[in-house]
Amino acid sequence: DTEVTQTPKHLVMGMTNKKSLKCEQHMGHRAMYWYKQKAKKPPELMFVYSYEKLSINESVPSRFSPECPNSSLLNLHLHALQPEDSALYLCASSQRDNVLTFGAGSRLTVL
């Protein structure tokens, strides 16, 4: 299994809603990442978990809350988002060779 699976593929939410994005990998990778990608832009790093501990937080607003329940799962909890948070959210994982394996992404629209 060489995939990173993200759910849901599409999410529409209001600014007062609470929702979560989910990511799962079964490649035994011990580093997992959340990236945010706006249209026609490169991915921007948000969070990195290494061995299920938060390793990097790129000064992301607290309305985004990551969680790594175990070595295969990564969640991104969303609360009180703004319309400018609408984007493609990409999950990735990696092992020692530093190659990122990406999921297909969750496209988020905030109304």
Partner 1 sequence: AQSVTQLDSQVPVFEEAPVELRCNYSSSVSVYLFWYVQYPNQGLQLLLKYLSGSTLVKGINGFEAEFNKSQTSFHLRKPSVHISDTAEYFCAVRGGGGFKTIFGAGTRLFVKA
Which chain residues interact with partner 1 by CB under 8 A?
4, 6, 31, 33, 40-43, 45, 48, 50, 55-56, 90, 92, 97-105, 107
Q: Could you tell me if 68 and 74 are in contact, meaning their C-beta atoms sit under 8 angstroms apart?
A: yes
Task: Tell me whether residue 17 or residue 37 sits nearer to partner 1 (CB atom).
Answer: 37
Angle among Cα 91, 92, 95 to the nearest 5 degrees reads 155
Task: Tell me whether residue 106 or residue 110 sits nearer to partner 1 (CB atom).
Answer: 106
Q: Could you tell me if 37 and 87 are in contact, meaning their C-beta atoms sit under 8 angstroms apart?
A: yes
Q: In whole angstroms, what is the distance from residue 6 CA to residue 90 CA?
A: 8
Query: Least distance (Å) from partner 1 to the CB of residue 38?
Result: 12
Task: Tell me whether residue 43 or residue 110 sits nearer to partner 1 (CB atom).
Answer: 43
106-110 and 10-13: which strand pairing? parallel
Query: Least distance (Å) from partner 1 to the CB of residue 43?
Result: 6
Query: Least distance (Å) from partner 1 to the CB of residue 51?
Result: 12
Query: Least distance (Å) from partner 1 to the CB of residue 21?
Result: 13
Chain center to CA of 86? 13
